[in-house]
A and B are shown apart, each in its own frame.
Chain A
Amino acid sequence: MAQPAIYSLFIINKSGGLIYYKDYGSAGRMDTNDSLRLASLWHSMHAISQQLSPIPGCTGIDLLQAHNFDLHCFQSLTGTKFFVICETGAQNMETLLKAIYELYTDFVLKNPFYEMEMPIRCELFDLNIAQVIQKDRLALLGR
């Protein structure tokens, strides 16, 4: 089975609460408790990385490289964080994160029944995200 380019997607609200977690086929799929704790942990580490910066104007971690995966993170100016766990060396993740941000502003924020800062339960959002991720995966297979 082909390696998925993207293993999972997390969205964290401005207070560090997990509002969206989707696993796209990794062996490391987590239960709710674990994903909540990891999101909260990422939120604090992201903030601490800014405090430790030796140069002013740090906006936090945007790429974490590990032996088995890469993590790309995007934080909007409103404090919402979007991060993907993907295979090492995956390209164009920043573009993907931007696309996900746009889908969020469309299918989540414009849904009047969605309560701000709460977990996202919007089917259209799920559908569109899955499509974008699938497109990315197919593009990669075409290498």
Chain B
Amino acid sequence: MAPLTAPKSGDALFASVDRVNAELFTLTYGAIVRQLLTDLEEVEEVNKQLDQMGYNIGTRLVDEFLAKSNVSRCVDFKETADVIAKLGFKMFLGVTATVTNWDAEGTSCSFVLEDNPLVDFVELPDTCQGLHYCNVLSGVIRGALEMVSMKTEVTWVRDMLRGDDTYEMRVKLIKQVPEEYPYKDDD
């Protein structure tokens, strides 16, 4: 059966969703991070919580993405990475990422973000040097991919808030976990 509609382009997708004021988004996220720091005090704990929040968001976000973008199943991990960079990031953050640094087996790559709306106007104080401010993003990717049967590990390689020149996330595919086939014996 032919697909009902062809997959949309990144720009078309971004144009078709409701938008929110960017400042409000940045401020809200900042408030969450501040609150977590106050409640938990340990920077490592905050990193973990941000990742967990991202994971919970990712597991729900993926269906939204699939429903609105009409993409069909990706053939391999390379295609998955491209779809996330060009369509996923565009649809939800309004920016596209570039995919680089593929390893030899094609199971590990980097997403590089020049522009990151989460961190507008943010400067990390000395007391928070271990903080991965954007850790929610790594959680979102991990959660979303897990819902389409891919177990991954996502880590931050470069972080502008920590003095690097750009944002770089490393995504490593650990394994594909296909759904188990239940066998129904009726005789």
Q: What residues of chain A have their CB less than 8 Å away from a CB belonging to chain B?
A: 14, 16, 41, 43-45, 47-48, 50-51, 62, 76-80, 94-95, 98, 101-102, 104-106, 109-110, 116
Could you tell me if B59 and A116 are in contact, using CB atoms closer than 8 angstroms?
yes
What's the nearest-Cβ distance from chain A to residue B53, in Å? 11
Closest B-chain residue to A99, C-beta based? B67
Partner of A77, one of B59, B68, B148, B182: B148
Question: How many chain B residues touch the partner (CB < 8 A)?
Answer: 20
Given contacts A50-B181, A80-B63, A94-B4, could you give 8 more A-B pairs where the C-beta distance is less than 8 Å?
A: A48-B183, A76-B67, A79-B147, A102-B67, A105-B68, A106-B64, A109-B63, A116-B60
Could you say which residues of chain B place their CB within 8 Å of the CB of A95? Answer: 4
Instruction: Report B's interface with A, CB cutoff 8 A.
Output: 1, 4, 59-64, 66-68, 73, 147-149, 179, 181-184
Known contacts A14-B179, A47-B179, A48-B183; A78 and B1 CB within 8 A of each other: no
Listed A/B pairs (25) with beta-carbon separation below 8 Å: A14-B179, A44-B182, A48-B181, A48-B183, A48-B184, A62-B1, A76-B66, A76-B67, A78-B62, A78-B66, A78-B147, A78-B148, A79-B147, A80-B63, A95-B4, A98-B67, A101-B67, A104-B63, A105-B64, A105-B66, A105-B67, A106-B64, A109-B64, A110-B64, A116-B59
Q: Tell me whether chain A's interface is mostly helix, strand or loop, or mixed.
A: helix
Task: Choose from B147, B182, B183 the contact partner of A16 (Cβ within 8 Å).
Answer: B182
